[in-house]
Amino acid sequence: MSTVALPPLADILSTARVVSLTLAARFRGILVREAMVFEGPEGWTEFSPFVEYGDVEAATWLAGAIDYGWTAAPTPVREGVGVNATMPAVAASEVAGLLARYDGCRTVKVKVAEPGQTLADDVARVRAVRESMGPEGRVRVDANAAWNVDEAERAVHALAAFDLEYVEQPCAEIEELVQLRERIGYLDIPIAADESVRKAADPLRVARSGAADLLVIKAQPLGGVHAAREIVRQAGLPVVVSSALDTSIGLSMGAALAASLPELPYDCGLGTASLFTTDVVASPLVARGGVLPLERPRPSATDLDRVAADDERRDWWLARLGRCYELLTRG
C-alpha cells in the first residue's frame, strides 16, 4: 500500500461523490459502473473497487486513491500514453461498431473466456477484430484467469492464427502459467500476468517464478502510483499499465503512472472511457489518435450531479469507505 499519511476521514467525506456510469456494452457482466470520487490537495482522485470485492482488498484501492489525491505525481517522461481499444465479449457482429468509439487506436485487447460462451465465440470475435484492424493492427486477448492449462493451450492454438501480441492471464495459478508458458513456447506468444500481480499477497512472485513475459500493472489496486512504480522497478519485466474500468479521473491516475515509467514498450489499457456513454466530466479522457493526453480531470458540480448514484448506493459506498479507512488506520 501507499506510505502516504492518511488524511482525516472528514476531509475525504467533505468532497466525496458516488457516481453511476452507463456502459455502451456489457463488460465484466455489468452495464453500470459505480465509483466514488473525491478531491485532495493534488486534485480529484478515485476509489472504485468492484462491488463484489471484500473490504481488505478494497482498502488497498483506497490507499491508491489517497496516494493520488494527496501526493504529487511522479515527473512524466512522455507527453502522452499510447492506449489500446478494449473489446468486451460481444458478438462478432458488434465488433466494428465498438471499435469506432476509439480514435486511432492501433491495438485492441479482446476479452475471451466469458462465462456462458464458447471457444468458437472467442474465435469469431478475435477474427472480426483482426479483420477490422488489418494485418498491421495489434491484437491481444484477456481470459481473466478463466482457463485451466489444457483449456488455455487449446484456446491459444485456436487463436494463434490471428497473430496475437500476447495472451493475458490465461490461467489463475502461477504454477499453471509456468506450465502453459512451457507448452506454448514454440508459438512465440508472450504471456502477461494481471490478477497474479494485483490480487497477490506477493505481487512480485509471478516475475520471480518465470511465469510471465510481461506484467499488467494497475495503479489503484496496487496501492497507488508510487507503490506501483516500485513494483515495476523490482519486477524487471516489461509492463502494460491498465485500468479497471475507471472513470476519467481514475484513468488519469493510470496515465500518470504510465507517463512516468522509463520504458513503456506496449500500448496501455487506459482507453476504457470510450466504453462509457456517461462520465464524471463533460469531456471524458479518451484517446486522440490512439494517444491518451496527460490531463487531470476536474469535474464540476453539474457534471457530478448528472451521474450521481441514488441515495441507497451512495450510502453503501460511504459505509464501505468508512470500513476501508478503518482498515488503513490499523496498518
First to last CA, the chain: 9
Q: Is residue 42 scored above 70 in pLDDT? A: yes
Mean pLDDT over the full length of the chain: 96
pLDDT band for 217, please (50, 70, 90 cuts): very high
Q: How much is the average pLDDT of 11-26?
A: 96
- 188 carries a ligand binding annotation: no
- 295 carries a ligand binding annotation: no
pLDDT of residue 4: 64
Question: What share of the chain in percent tops pLDDT 70?
Answer: 99
- Distance CA(47)–CA(32), nearest Å, equals 16
pLDDT band for 28, please (50, 70, 90 cuts): confident
pLDDT of residue 203: 94
Q: How much is the average pLDDT of 92-102?
A: 97
pLDDT of residue 329: 97
Q: Is residue 2 scored above 70 in pLDDT? A: no
Q: Is residue 76 scored above 90 in pLDDT? A: yes
**Which one, of 5, 107, 108, 84, lies nearest residue 258 by Cα?**
84
Please report the domains of the chain, with CATH numbers, ordered by start residue: 9-74+301-329 (3.30.390.10), 80-293 (3.20.20.120)
Give the helix, strand, coil percentages of the chain, each rounded to 5.
Answer: 40, 20, 40
The C-alpha cell at 10 is 472528514
pLDDT band for 1, please (50, 70, 90 cuts): very low
Q: Tell me the catalytic residues.
A: 111, 218
Give backbone dihedrals phi and psi of 17, rounded to 5 degrees, phi first: -135, 140
Using only C-alpha atoms, the chain has a radius of gyration, in whole angstroms, of 19
Question: What share of the chain in percent tops pLDDT 90?
Answer: 95
Q: How much is the average pLDDT of 115-119?
A: 97
- 122 carries a ligand binding annotation: no
Q: How much is the average pLDDT of 276-297?
A: 97
Q: Is residue 26 scored above 50 in pLDDT? A: yes
